[in-house]
Amino acid sequence: MTIKDIAKAAGVSTSTVSKVLNGKDDNISEETRKRVRDIIAEFDYVPYAGVRDSLLAKNSTIAVVLPTLKSRFCLDFFEKAQSLAIKSGYTCTLYLSGPGEEREKEIIRSVSEEHTAGLLYFPRSSGALDALTESGSNISSAVLLDCDYPQRLFPRINRDFRNIAKEGTTRLLNKNNKRVALVLSSELSGASKKLVEAGYEEAHRACGVFFEKDLILEEKDREKAIGMILNAGIDGVICCDSRVAGEIHHSVREKHFSVPQDVSILCLEDDISLEHLVPSVSAVKSDPENMAKLAVDALVSQISAKKKTFFSTYLPFETVDRQSIRDYEKPLNKILVAGSINMDITMKVKRSPKLGETTLASSLNTWPGGKGANQAIGVSRFGADAFMLGRLGNDIYGKQLYEQLTKENVNLDGVAFSYNNPTGTAYISVQEDGRNTIIVNPGANARLTPTYVDSKRELFEDAVFCLLQMEIPLPSVTEILGICKERNIKAILKPSPAQGLPEEMLKDLFLMIPNREELDILVPGKGSPEEKARKITEKGVSNVIVTLSENGCLYTDGRTVKYYEALDYPCVDATGASDIFISCLAVELSKGSDLDKAIKTATVAASYSVSKEGVQNAIIDRHLLDELYKSSFVK
């Protein structure tokens, strides 16, 4: 068959056939072009190899460049795009770019050399986009997908990563999941990752939850995410990839944690596999088939019309609620903590020096501390609503401590900075057996005056307990106890540092918790701990708990006495064990536990804490606390 035969069969001139063969057919209708191409293909007419390859490739092949087929989104996109392309008279060639800019550039060069009719492309690097620009007329029709780089030569259809991440994060935070980790996907481009991170951060700001950048993890760090769930109080995980969401779901259950009781999981892409998990995993869903339809329509329009249509659009998305997000109960009970906020400077020594003696420390560490701050963080971690009443210096320690309390979700409406006093500091020497001595410089804590307390009366509204210590001025303690009495708030006093207390202060006090040494100062002279504790109740205190270090504690209400044994943990640092005991006790009582159960639970928390350095670092997480309580006291 000759070119004249083709022209005769198509009912056109030889000039028209020549123009179709040489790609110079801009002024020829699509119907005529298709009729000529069909006859050429039917009779396998080959004028010369170059024209044939150009004709068949340029007019019938669409290149699809995906980052992976492991992602269900990408797989569904390709299947739909291929189906739609075939209906429009095209075939699809699939390329997988994977990691690495050079691989992407190589694909773009290959597509360019083959004179492909069009390109559907998920770019992962700006360098590869430069290669696309440099291809010139060889790639004249393309649609860029999930492209957040500043490239304006072709239409773009993107998933709305910023708002998808914001929506998913907000959903977890509004369910009171307070520490939510984000696990990024290795298949996302660098620009897309930044948008996901931005949406995640914006959700924290909008929900008033402290943003922790360290909770943003790469996919390769997903094992770290599991470890953080176990050890760092993570109660929610957001995954960008359904495959990773499935792995974390499996690992959490393998570690004997529960979804969603212990940790909520949400995915920023949907997959049928998420439905089949038990419990099934919630997702924020963009429709890959919708993206494929928009992309193929835009590409075919470019190819057919021989003109460029520049636009940029975002895919709509929706949240699919399943069973993997727990609506954690918001703390129903408010506990006000009034007291000291210090920076603890801890030195490890073989033994504390005698008077006139010098000894060397083996190490020195600084830890956020202060009995008030310790108790407030304990209250928050154990599950109640913690409000802090205190003062800080306007210095580096003060700013660090303020940030730490914010991070722990402690309400700081009652905390103000003093510009004339430094932040309080505590100098702690810890002996090899874990026992310690403490010297406190009150600093700004001294500015927690009765006048300041009176100015913060609104903080006492709706509080069920108020925790107090003696590292603030005694007149302020008296003022606070007076407000508690007015508003029927149960006050719990830790008399440290111990001093003689006016009997008027002790009347109607719900609970006092001294240690053995403090008890001897409060009730000097001979007598057993039982006898001295009873004497305190005789002065009007309803309940007394005396902490006895490794020997546990004793409780009395003046009529009955009961001893509670400590759990056997190796003692590394006993600093602040009583603060942890008190905060745990208060939370348990606020939840309706009786004193017996509350003391047992607090004993578990305090016993465990001595096996860790520092105070706030040693506060046990709620899940482990409940497990240890069951194993120790529930038969």
Note the pLDDT tens digit of each residue in 572-598.
888 789 999 999 999 999 988 899 999
For 166-216, the pLDDT digits (tens) are 999 999 998 878 789 999 988 888 889 999 999 999 999 888 788 889 899
461: DSSP letter: T
Helix ranges, 208-328 (H): 222-231, 242-254, 272-276, 288-305
Q: Could you please report the per-residue DSSP string of 110-135?
A: HHHHTT-SEEEE----HHHHHHHHHT
Residue 264 and residue 257 in contact, taking contact as beta carbons nearer than 8 Å: no
189-to-184, 204, 252, 399 alpha-carbon distances in Å: 10, 23, 28, 36
- What is the predicted pLDDT for the residue at 48? 46
As given in the structure block, the two tokens for residue 172 are: 């977890």
pLDDT level of residue 93 (50, 70, 90 thresholds): very high
Average pLDDT over residues 156-174: 94
462-to-132, 453, 458, 488, 507 alpha-carbon distances in Å: 64, 16, 9, 10, 22
- What is the predicted pLDDT for the residue at 280? 93
Average pLDDT over residues 545-550: 93
Question: How many Cα atoms within 13 Å fall on the side-chain side of residue 391?
Answer: 24
Strands 385-393 and 411-418, by their bridges, are parallel
DSSP H/E element including 501: none
- What is the predicted pLDDT for the residue at 253? 76
Residue 299 and residue 149 in contact, taking contact as beta carbons nearer than 8 Å: no
- What is the predicted pLDDT for the residue at 53? 45
Q: Give the whole-number percent of the chain exceeding pLDDT 90.
A: 51
What's at 609, amino acid-wise? S
Whether the pLDDT of residue 57 is over 50: the answer is no
As given in the structure block, the two tokens for residue 73 are: 């989104």
Give 312's strand partners: 156
Largest CA distance in the chain: 126
Strands 553-556 and 385-393, by their bridges, are unpaired
For residues 93 and 507, the model is more confident at: 93
What's at 154, amino acid-wise? F
* Three-state secondary-structure class, residue 288: helix
Which are the contacts of 471, defined by CB distance < 8 A and separation ≥ 6? 339, 340, 342, 370, 371, 372, 424, 440, 442, 445, 496, 497
pLDDT level of residue 553 (50, 70, 90 thresholds): very high
| Identity of the highest mean pLDDT range in 284-298, 344-358, 569-583 | 284-298
579 is catalytic: yes
Average pLDDT over residues 409-436: 89
* Three-state secondary-structure class, residue 227: helix
Whether the pLDDT of residue 230 is over 60: the answer is no
Read off φ and ψ for residue 459, nearest 5 degrees. -65, -25
Give 492's strand partners: 467, 511
Average pLDDT over residues 531-542: 94
- What is the predicted pLDDT for the residue at 498? 86
- What is the predicted pLDDT for the residue at 46? 56
586-to-23, 124, 354, 549 alpha-carbon distances in Å: 83, 53, 37, 19
Whether the pLDDT of residue 325 is over 70: the answer is yes
Edge-first strand order for the sheet with 118-121 is 91-96, 61-66, 118-121, 142-145, 156-158, 312-314
Q: Identify the structural domains of the chain with CATH numbers, from first to last.
A: 1-47 (1.10.260.40), 163-286 (3.40.50.2300), 334-633 (3.40.1190.20)
- What is the predicted pLDDT for the residue at 44? 60
Give 120's strand partners: 64, 143
Which are the contacts of 445, defined by CB distance < 8 A and separation ≥ 6? 339, 340, 341, 342, 370, 390, 391, 424, 471, 472
Among residues 57, 69, 191, the alpha carbon closest in space to that of 124 is found at 191
Which are the contacts of 115, defined by CB distance < 8 A and separation ≥ 6? 53, 54, 57, 58, 138
pLDDT level of residue 328 (50, 70, 90 thresholds): low
As given in the structure block, the two tokens for residue 80 are: 């739909």
For 62-80, the pLDDT digits (tens) are 999 998 888 889 999 999 9
Active-site pick, 76, 148, 271, 579: 579
Whether the pLDDT of residue 164 is over 80: the answer is yes
For 12-56, the pLDDT digits (tens) are 887 787 777 766 667 888 888 888 888 876 766 655 444 444 444
- What is the predicted pLDDT for the residue at 56? 44
Average pLDDT over residues 138-147: 88
d(CA 133, CA 152): 10
Strands 312-314 and 156-158, by their bridges, are parallel
d(CA 580, CA 378): 6
What's at 514, amino acid-wise? P
What's at 198, amino acid-wise? A
Q: Mean pLDDT in the chain? A: 87
609-to-545, 569, 574, 584, 588 alpha-carbon distances in Å: 18, 9, 7, 12, 17
As given in the structure block, the two tokens for residue 89 are: 């008279």
Whether the pLDDT of residue 473 is over 60: the answer is yes
Whether the pLDDT of residue 334 is over 90: the answer is yes
